[in-house]
Chain A
Amino acid sequence: MADQIKVAYWPGCVSRGFTPELHGSMAIVAQKLGIELVELDRANCCGAGVIAEHNQELADTLNARTFALAQQTGLSMMNICSTCQGAQSECQQRLDADSAYRAHVNEALSGQGLSYEKDKDGFTNKNFLWLLVEDYGLDRLKEQVVRPLEGLRVGPFYGCYIVRPKERLGYGEHPDRDIYLEKVIEALGGTVVEYDGARKCCGFPVVTMNRETSLRQSGTHVGDAIDAGADCLVTPCPLCHLNLDMQQPEAAKVVNRDLGLAVLHLPQLVGLALGAEPKELGMSKHVASTGWVEERLTAGAAA
Chain B
Amino acid sequence: MAEYTIKVRRFQPESGEGPYWEEFNVDLEPSLAVLDGLLQAKDRDDGSLAVRCSCRAAICGSCGMKINGQSGLGCKTQIGEAQELANKVASASGEKVDNAPIVIEPMGNMPVVKDLITDMESTHWTKIRRVTPWLLPHGDPPEREYVVEPESMIDITQSMACIQCGACVSSCLSMEADPDFIGPAALAKAYRFVGDPRDAETHERLHDLADDPHGIYDCTHCFSCIDACPKGVAPMDQIMRLRRKAGEEGIEDPNAGHAHEIAFVKIIEKKGTLDEAMLVQESYAPGIKGKLKPSKRSIRETIKSLPTILRPLRKRKVKLRQAIPGTHHKLPGDAMDDVKAIYAHAEEHKEEINLYIQGEEGELVDENVEKGIERSTDPDTAEAK
Binding site for B on A (CB under 8 A): 13-14, 16-21, 42, 44-45, 47-58, 60-62, 65, 86, 93-94, 96-101, 103-104, 107-109, 111-112, 114, 160-161, 163-166, 175-176, 179, 182-183, 185-186, 191-192, 194, 200-201, 203, 205-206, 208-214, 216-217, 220, 246-247, 249-250, 282, 284-287
Whether the pair B312, A285 counts as a contact (CB closer than 8 A) is yes
Which 7 A/B pairs are nearest by Cβ-Cβ distance? A100-B375, A192-B93, A164-B223, A108-B345, A58-B346, A13-B274, A285-B317
How far apart sit A49 and B223, CA to CA, in the bound complex (Å)?
11
Does B358 lie at the interface of the complex (its beta carbon under 8 Å from any beta carbon of A)? yes
Instruction: List A contacts of B255 (CB < 8 A).
Output: 206, 209-210
Q: Chain B residues near A220 (CB, 8 Å)?
A: 177
B255 to chain A, nearest CB (A): 4
Q: How far is the CA of A20 from the CA of B276 in the complex (A)?
A: 13
Interface string of B224-245 (1 = CB under 8 A from A): 1011000000100000100110
* A239 → B minimal CB distance (Å): 10
The smallest C-beta distance from A46 to any residue of chain B, in angstroms, reads 9
Is B243 in contact with A21, judged by CB distance below 8 angstroms? Answer: no
Instruction: Report the tally of A-B residue pairs with Cβ distances under 8 A.
Output: 254
Interface residues on B, range: 35 or more
CB distance from A87 to the nearest CB of B (A): 10
Q: Is there an interface contact between B221 and A99, defined as CB atoms closer than 8 Å?
A: no
Identify the B interface with A (CB < 8 A).
88-89, 91-94, 173-174, 176-178, 181, 213, 217-224, 226-227, 234, 240, 243-244, 247, 255-257, 260-262, 264-265, 268, 272-274, 276, 279-280, 283-284, 301, 304, 307-308, 311-312, 315-318, 322, 328, 331-332, 334-335, 337-339, 341-347, 349-353, 355, 358-361, 365-366, 368-369, 374-376
**Which A residues lie within 8 Å of B316 (CB)?**
285
Q: Is the CB of A44 within 8 A of B173?
A: no
The reply to whether B268 and A247 contact each other, CB–CB distance below 8 Å, is no
A56/B352 contact (C-beta < 8 A), A99-B366, A285-B312 known: yes
Closest to B344 in A: A108
Looking at the complex, which one of A48, A52, A112, A213 makes contact with B174 (CB distance below 8 Å)?
A213
Q: Which residues of A contact B359 (CB under 8 A)?
A: 97
Question: Do residues B268 and A44 form an inter-chain contact, with CB atoms below 8 A?
Answer: yes
**Max count, chain B CB within 10 A of own CB: residue among A20, A53, A247:** A53
A206 to B221, CA, bound (A): 8
Q: Let me know if A287 and B312 touch, CB within 8 A.
A: yes
Q: Write out the residue numbers on chain A whose beta carbons fall within 8 Å of the beta carbon of B346.
A: 55, 57-58, 60-61, 108
The answer on a CB contact under 8 Å between A45 and B311 is no
Name the distance in Å between A151's Cβ and chain B's nearest Cβ. 15
Given contacts A101-B351, A166-B227, A250-B307, contact A217 B318 (CB under 8 A): no
Additional A-B contacts beyond A111-B338, A247-B308 (7; CB < 8 A) = A18-B276, A18-B312, A101-B375, A108-B342, A112-B337, A214-B220, A217-B220
